[in-house]
Amino acid sequence: MTLQRYTKLLGHYLRPQWRTAVLMAALLLVSIGLQLVVPQILRFFIDTAEAGGSLEALTRAALLFLGIAVSTQLLSAAATYYAADVGWTATNAMREDLARHCLGLDMSFHTSRTPGELIERIDGDVTALSNFFSQFSVRVLGGALMLAGILVILWLESAAVGIALTLFTVAVFIALFLTRNVAVAATKDERETSAQLFGFVEERLAGLDDLRANGGGDYAMQSFTRVAREFFYKGRRAWMKRSSIWMLSYGLFTVGDLITLGAAIYLYQQGSITLGTAYLFFQYMLMLEAPIEQITQQMQELQKAGAGIGRIDELFAMKSELPRGKDVALRSDALPLSFERLGFAYGDKRILDEVTFRLEAGKVLGLLGRTGSGKTTLTRLIFRLYDPTSGSVELGGVDTRDAAPESLRERVGMVTQEVQLFHATVRENLTFFSDDVPDARIEAVLRDLGLGGWLDGLEDGLDTTLAASGGGLSAGQAQLLAFARVFLKDPGLVILDEPSSRLDPATEQLLERAVDKLLQGRTAIIIAHRLETVKRADDILILKDGRILEHGARAALVRDRGSSFSQLLRAGGRTDMDDPEEIEDVLGDTLKEPA
């Protein structure tokens, strides 16, 4: 890690706080100046007492000493407070930058990492930099100035003592320079195993119900022991390597104390200095240890920072495989959709192959196919969670690769069977924490969807906090809240992944009414698990093995007894199927191979 990288990072995150940083530096420097005066007062006190000086002079010296000591502590406490403020503000800014960067990366990045690992990368690695941001430059500068002040005073008092302690200081810094990177690699390993530990714990907690139900507790604990053991060993190794710097400096300080004490005793016995001056030499030597220890500590923090900065730089260096195109804004009405010779593969596995079709604006498409046929991938390509391997997706006449990502997310809405609700207020859950949507509009949407009674029963109305993951809500209420989100967005294209397939008939009727309202004036794709759902579709598209098996107007396909869709209806013995799995079975038994 180069000095240029450290300097650039400090400059970027401390520049907005330069006033606070300057105040912190001023407080610290005044404190250093006062500390340099203290030994002079003590020498005066000792020499005056030894010479039988007046009590008044001794009292003034004692009071001055106490005043400076109290002032030094107050200044140091204030500097520490502002240092913490600077450090947390800088690290929070870095967390924000990292989170925004990760949210901008494509799905291949997120699917290859656990949430726990990302939490540790974004929070844990940045926390390790808090001292680096808050104190490193000021503490190192302050320590250097104190060292210089002490050595100048010692040279003025005695050239021999000044030379000896200057050589000692140079030797200490040479040793520190040679060991400056000894713990960087070990600390990086420590941070990586910490991320793995967080990821492991997060995954097991997320699957706690399955682990308990299937007797996987023993296996989970054995695995946890293995991961925790690795974290312990690598953490201990990193700590020992960082401590080696402190142990080295401690040994050198012991040598320095002996040299100074021996020189002071010799000069005092020779009559070259007074007892107060001998004490002054030894006191300055003790004070010399403080800035060197301070710089040594900052060197250890620098090694922690080096490992953290390295991992953070790796994260910042990751680029999305979905580069921004021309940033074209999508139009505000119902959006036509077209796929042209679309192909997509996950690695070597081909998912979609030569898919070509067009959905007119305001039309509803029923999308059918067995699990693994490519239905979900098709919708992900519309959202541009991935880019096509070949061919193109056009929305409103704009290639999704050229559409502005913000406009694409705004103009396409989706409702699935699984609704993600946050531990936040009703308002925040519906607007995704935006303050731009008026309360009157939110309430109107909820009442229009049949949630007026539910809303009136909430003690704090829209300010009521929902439990995490929708705890306390029925499945139907959660689904209707998902519909409300889409209504508030007012998209031009809606994708419905059969949100009503697992609900009771009464709640399903409410959702069916919501679907009818949602589809008015919008283009829509309905991923069907039951044939009944596609009654409202204008067109039908059936996928098999990533290719279009059949595509056409629903009414025409119903009339054509040779169509695969017509065979599905006859195989079911009716025009609807109550069992969500039945369509899977029928598709597997009756779908023809593509021509």
CATH number of residue 573's parent domain: 3.40.50.300
pLDDT at position 282 is: 83
Residues 254 and 373 grouped into a single domain: no
Residues 307 and 383 grouped into a single domain: no
* Type of residue numbered 402: D
Kindly state whether residue 73 falls inside one of the protein's structural domains.
yes
pLDDT at position 582 is: 46
Residues 31 and 113 grouped into a single domain: yes
Q: Domain count of the chain?
A: 2
Residues 342 and 404 grouped into a single domain: yes
pLDDT at position 574 is: 46
The count of other CB atoms within 10 Å of the CB of residue 533 is 23
Q: What is the pLDDT of residues 193-242, one digit of tens each?
A: 887 887 788 777 777 777 777 777 787 888 888 888 988 888 888 888 87
**At which residue do the structure tokens 């002996």 appear?**
258
Kindly state whether residue 442 falls inside one of the protein's structural domains.
no
* CA 108 to each of CA 384, 403, 406, 409, 418: distance values in angstroms, whole numbers, following the listed order: 12, 20, 20, 18, 21
Residues 89 and 230 grouped into a single domain: yes
pLDDT at position 572 is: 61
**CA dihedral for 445, 451, 457, 463, sign (positive or negative):** negative
Residues 362 and 293 grouped into a single domain: no
Residues 254 and 402 grouped into a single domain: no
Residues 18 and 58 grouped into a single domain: yes
The count of other CB atoms within 10 Å of the CB of residue 201 is 16
pLDDT at position 59 is: 92
pLDDT at position 375 is: 87
Kindly state whether residue 431 falls inside one of the protein's structural domains.
no
| Global pTM value | 0.64
CATH code for position 83:
1.20.1560.10
pLDDT at position 573 is: 57
Residues 175 and 276 grouped into a single domain: yes
Residues 379 and 496 grouped into a single domain: yes
Kindly state whether residue 272 falls inside one of the protein's structural domains.
yes
Domain that holds residue 392: 337-416+492-590
Q: What is the pLDDT of residues 25-36, one digit of tens each?
A: 788 888 888 888
Residues 498 and 378 grouped into a single domain: yes
Kindly state whether residue 480 falls inside one of the protein's structural domains.
no
Low-confidence ranges of the chain (pLDDT < 50): 574-595
**At which residue do the structure tokens 């009521």 appear?**
464
Domain boundary (317, 350, 365) is at 317
pLDDT at position 578 is: 37
Domain boundary (260, 285, 317) is at 317
Under 8 Å between Cβ of 193 and 234: yes
pLDDT at position 469 is: 65
* CA 542 to each of CA 188, 309, 519, 520: distance values in angstroms, whole numbers, following the listed order: 51, 50, 21, 24
Instruction: Report d(CA 548, CA 592) in Å as an integer.
Output: 11
Residues 51 and 170 grouped into a single domain: yes
Kindly state whether residue 187 falls inside one of the protein's structural domains.
yes
